[in-house]
Chain A
Amino acid sequence: MQAICLEQVSLWRRTQEEFSYDLKKTILSILEGKYHKPIKKLVLDRVDLTIAAGEKVGIIGVNGSGKSTLLKVICGIFQPTKGQVKVWGKIAPMIELEAGFDPELTIWDNIILYGVMLGFSQKEMQQRINSILAFAELEEYVSIPLKALSSGMVARLGFAIATDVEPDILILDEVLAVGDERFKNKCKQRLKNFWDANATVLLVSHDLNLVEQFCDRVIWLDRGKIKYIGSAYEAIDYYRDMVNLTVSLR
């Protein structure tokens, strides 16, 4: 059974230089006749990909090769310019977990807010709240504003909420290692449970050993294109050769 299917997915994005646009400059540049349409760059180039349910897939590639962009397209955050993305099941994105929090709100309110943003109902979240707090070990902080917590505690809370659900598809951008040593082990144990259960996992990492150890299949992205897709061992071997080659050429 399929979990994710991408057909000829291409994505064009505006380049970074266009980010600080303002009305004054635009009007003046039109008046001076210097206005030009924003330049766009191809960040994903005709990506074809089918991932079966339960498969563990690693994504490797140098910085800026489109790994995170690919994950965001799969999550539905970016709309592809061309092509089609199909996803079966519930996705738990675990990309920088603190994004959904509001520092002024209490822990309780934050858990509800975050959960609803992830797609759960308020009722469901109220039922989950105790197990989330227990995992994050923050029971005595329920009614305290989030800003009073240390950054490690916030990260723990984020991890606890995102993983309290049983997602069909788990998306990991860089490995999550939050909190102190003891909590890291707890996180690893929980991720391992997902691994053992039949969740589909997408893992982006620069830690090739980790990818090789945990993934069945590896995708190597290079400048927005799939350069190689195959068994973890082959792909990583090929990738290492190429990286070493470019290094020795310099």
Chain B
Amino acid sequence: MVFKRQGEVVRVSQTSIFQNANLVRYLELLQVLVSRNLKVRYRGSFLGIYWSLLNPLLMTAAYTTLFGMAFLRYYDNSLVKYMLEVFVGLVVINFFSASTSQALTSVVCNGGLLNKIRLPVNVFPLSMIAANVFQFVCGSLPFLVIAALVTSESLINVLALIVPLLSLVCFCAGVGLIVSALFVFFRDLPYFYELVVTLIWFSSPIFYPIDIVPANIRPFLALNPLISIIGSIRQIALSGELPDISLIGTSLLTSCVVLAVGCKLFYNWRSQFMDLL
């Protein structure tokens, strides 16, 4: 069996029986890297995952106390509604900032390893995203599912939640691939990326209603793909109405574009990585 890679190196393997041996190996690798990541992070205590909920819960409490009353009229005069919307927004934005920031350093951190063993490089940023997905599924997802069930009393909404969440993962994976590749070339990137994340944070209507943004500025906010994702998740989990297909579609489309661009850039730059690691 012959595997052709980048047209230059040919590996002839006699041992692999399966046609998809490469894919199987990739998934095994992803699995051990994710489990390493989670084990190091939580040191064997499963409850550690719930520790990650501490941040959005505390922040929700803080925003509700500080701004809840001021924005009340935008939320049907319901403090609970404000609280829930803030919480959902925080959970999404936290997932984005944590997963992409961890992905950013992943290729460079494993540079020593990449110099010793032949490994698919993109497995490192993607394993960071995957570890965060696992954490999200155990920590925040049950909350979203319960919220969707209670407000809409319909399984359709629960199932529809999968699509914007998938968009979120694709978006973060795309951004993660781009920043992890850029970090190989620009080692001062974390500083700039932190700025970008803060900008995205403030341009996403998390603790404020989008209506307070001046109408002539609002179109610019559309450039931030997280807004449609947050909007879609809120609409499905909190509004109690049937899922809004156009919101879901926008979020899915933009995140797929970001993922495709991320894959393409990563692949193009990949050949230069080894000179700099």
Which A residues have a C-beta under 8 Å from some C-beta of B? 13-14, 18-24, 26, 72, 75-80, 83-90, 93, 95-96, 99-100, 102, 104-105, 109, 112-113, 116-119, 121-122, 168
CB-contacts of B188-216 with A (<8 A): 188-189, 192
B contact residues around A26 at 8 Å (CB) = 186
Does A89 contact B13, Cβ atoms closer than 8 Å? yes
Decide: A112 near B32, CB < 8 A? Known: A23-B192, A100-B113. yes
B29 adjacent to chain A (CB < 8 Å): yes
Does B115 contact A72, Cβ atoms closer than 8 Å? yes
Does A23 contact B276, Cβ atoms closer than 8 Å? no
**B33 → chain A closest CB, angstroms:** 8
Q: A77-B117, A104-B39 are in contact. List 6 more A-B contacts (CB 8 A).
A: A20-B187, A77-B115, A83-B8, A85-B9, A99-B115, A105-B39
Contact partner, B185, options A21, A79, A80, A96, Cβ 8 Å: A21
Does B36 contact A76, Cβ atoms closer than 8 Å? no
Does B10 contact A75, Cβ atoms closer than 8 Å? no
Which B residues have a C-beta under 8 Å from some C-beta of A? 5-6, 8-15, 24-25, 28-29, 31-33, 35-36, 39-40, 43, 112-119, 185-189, 192, 271-272, 274-276
Residue of A nearest to B272 (CB): A14
Does B112 contact A99, Cβ atoms closer than 8 Å? yes
Contact partner, B9, options A20, A24, A84, A89, Cβ 8 Å: A84
**When chains A and B are docked, how far (Å) is the Cα of A19 from the Cα of B29?**
29
**B36 → chain A closest CB, angstroms:** 6
Does B13 contact A105, Cβ atoms closer than 8 Å? no
Does B118 contact A23, Cβ atoms closer than 8 Å? no
Does A89 contact B115, Cβ atoms closer than 8 Å? no
B contact residues around A95 at 8 Å (CB) = 116
Does B12 contact A86, Cβ atoms closer than 8 Å? yes
Decide: A90 near B119, CB < 8 A? Known: A19-B276, A116-B29, A116-B32. no
